[in-house]
Amino acid sequence: MTWDIALVFILLVLTLACFVWEKFPPDLTALTLFLILIGCQLIPTEKALSVFSNPAPLTVGAMFVLSAALVKCGAVDRLSALIESSSRLPYSVVILIMVILVSTISAFINNTPVVVVFLPVILNLARKMNRAPSKFLIPLSYAAVLGGTCTLVGTSTNLVVNGIITGKGQPAFGMFELAWLGIPVTILGGLYLAIFGNRLLPVREMLTSILSDEERREYITEAYVQADSPVLGKTLVEAGFTSKRGVRVLEIVRDGIALYFDPKTAQLKAGDRLILSCRPSGIANTRRVQGINLTSELNLGIEQIAAHEGSLVEAVVTPHSALLGHTVRDVNFRQRYRMVVIALHRKGENVREQIENLPIEGGDVLLMMGTDQAIDALRDNDDFVFFDRARVPTKPQTGKVLLVVGVISAVIASAAMEWVPIEIGALTGCVIICLSRCLKTTEAYAAVDWNILFLIYGMLAMGMAMEYTGAAAWIAGHIVSAVQLLVPAAHKGIIMLACIYLVTTVLTEILSNNAVAALMAPIAIGIGIKLGMDPRPFIIAVTFGASAAFATPIGYQTNTYVYGVGGYRFGDFLRIGLPLNALCFVVAMVVIPQVWPF
């Protein structure tokens, strides 16, 4: 082992540790790795920059745009509405219908927007069937993942591996080549969820369940600090404005400006207007404070906030929300939306303290309170998906629906018939979509998940560095030597196939699927060559193993998204996901050698 191979391995371990640690965003970690590889001269600058000519990220970005166009024109909304008519059917039948419909759609467009669109439909379906949403949301995510394994464009993972293997002289994937494995697994996975889902999936309460009966009834009102009030100069806590007394101060408005404040240090001044969230007992307590009056009971000639009962609603932050990375305080949430964030659910935990200082992440579930008018005004905001009622489907524009569906069909057909490369076809489709005004250019750029693209670029550079320094060949050589030493010649292929698949799946459960695909694909090719076998079956194992990750909520983006919405715990995914992982493994070990022989 040379020093540069050792350094590559050290950087690889540190990168994987950063992915697991989650202190920094994965795309930032990948770009940092990219610069370190160049700085340490583990890969020439020209070679490192050549990753930006790889067609895979470009194709992934184009498919994000085409997916957004299909969602915007209302086509997916109309298909999702088909599920609502099945509410009177048995649970197992409903799950099977959902898996068939969701997997079919996600086979051709990015699976994350599919889950986002179907989410309120599934929540409404759960209400109609009088079942907990947690009985439906994991199957929704799994269906989207399974569908993505059926075609080349079904998931970004497939496109990443395709870009890597074509760069190494291997034949590109056919549009439906992966369907030989993806379709059987999707069918069996759907049957598994339909038969065992009700037994294995938990009953989890929504975020509102953490509130007491009194906390569910709060009022938003306003109080005025009189000039002769005895609380002048006192802090909010000293004046008695505490949650223990049923009162929370949302804002202090002084001289027309909303102030940031600390309840333990902010001192009250004459003329301060306090925006309050009060339980019924809190309103009575506020009235007892001398020199503090509810503005609804005064005639001050100023704009007033009457005491309205606040409605509680839950909403999930969408993956492309403008709020991502910002805190509630940063975005002036109360002023911007006229809503109050009471609690937040993230990764199986309910958070009620210091919410205003917590950066918002995609998939976070916010428990908010506001007036009915404020809630209705927020419903059309693309930053949130509300849970309290069914989503109103986008009004379909027949002409645009036909055009968008026609463009996507043409992209798929041209790639399947090998008329043009998939990246050229997808980019052409994006241009047609934007020129025809089905999607504005700003909407197209916003639809691209840029962090995924830069994550792919960084990990492609790592794969290139492993190949350039000989690290990939070193790993492949030692793995092959171990197999040749311990395994009979007749079983070398299937044992190696199983090892590659299991390693890929385990890594995907704790890391990004795209990162694992970019890391394992070069190793799989090297192993196949060293064994004197066709690398194709090992490549297929990496491609499928990097998508078929069901045992953790962090293995796939859609799993992470439903994690908070359903109120799940980490172990819920293990309980239902591990058997599905095992099922996928068995099917892969049977199908891959038959379709792609060694």
pLDDT per position as a tens digit, 315-370: 888 877 888 888 887 887 877 887 878 778 777 677 766 777 788 888 888 888 77
Q: Are 100 and 158 in contact (CB under 8 A)?
A: no
- In the block, tokens 């059917």 appear at 89
pLDDT at 187 (0 to 100): 96
CA 231 vs CA 234, 268, 297, 301, 330: distances in Å: 5, 7, 19, 23, 29
| Side-chain-facing half-sphere of 16: CA atoms under 13 Å | 15
- In the block, tokens 């938003």 appear at 220
Tokens, residue 346:
């993230």
Instruction: Look up the pTM and report it.
Output: 0.81
Give the residue with greater pLDDT, 81 vs 503: 503
pLDDT tens digits along 203-246:
876 665 555 554 555 666 777 888 878 888 888 788 877 766 66
What is the chain's alpha carbon radius of gyration, rounded to the nearest angstrom? 27
DSSP string of 275-320, one letter each residue: EEEE-HHHHHHHHHSTTEEEGGGS--SS-----EEEEEEEEEEPTT
Distance between CA atoms of 328 and 334, rounded to whole angstroms? 8
Tokens, residue 64:
């994000």
- Position 543 confidence tier, pLDDT thresholds 50, 70, 90: very high
- What does the CA dihedral 255, 260, 264, 266 come to, rounded to 10 degrees? -20
Tokens, residue 147:
């569908």
**Helix orientation angle between 450-469 and 471-486, rounded to the nearest 10 degrees:** 70
Q: Which domains does the chain have, with CATH numbers?
A: 3-205+404-595 (no CATH), 210-306 (3.30.70.1450), 309-386 (3.30.70.1450)
- Position 279 confidence tier, pLDDT thresholds 50, 70, 90: low
Q: Which residues pair with 385 in a beta bridge?
A: 316
In degrees and rounded to multiples of 5, residue 480 shows phi and psi of -65, -40
Alpha helices in 313-371 (DSSP H): 333-337
